[in-house]
Amino acid sequence: MCRDGGLRLDEIAALMGRATSPSPHRWQDIVADRLTAIEADLARLREAHDYLSNALRCQAEHPAVECPYVQRELDDRVAGMLPPDHP
């Protein structure tokens, strides 16, 4: 179950009380950090799901070329990868 949650072996050891950590709350920190990472993953996956669902429903033969929604998404993503001072 811990591995399914994305925990490393040293983190699992801390959860099981077998780590040599000076902090008694180390396991809570590990769980809180992992939950934060999982929430970020879920948000990214929800965004990907929505994007792909919309692309699948698109009536265009080639959505990446013909669909205004997909084009807007692609333009936004490219713009987000450019440095702020890019013309």
**Does the structure show a pLDDT above 90 at 56?**
no
Where would I find the H helices in the chain? 9-15, 26-57, 63-66, 68-81
Element (H, E) at 22: none
**What pTM value is reported for the model?**
0.64
- At 14-37, the pLDDT tens digits run 777 766 655 666 788 888 998 999
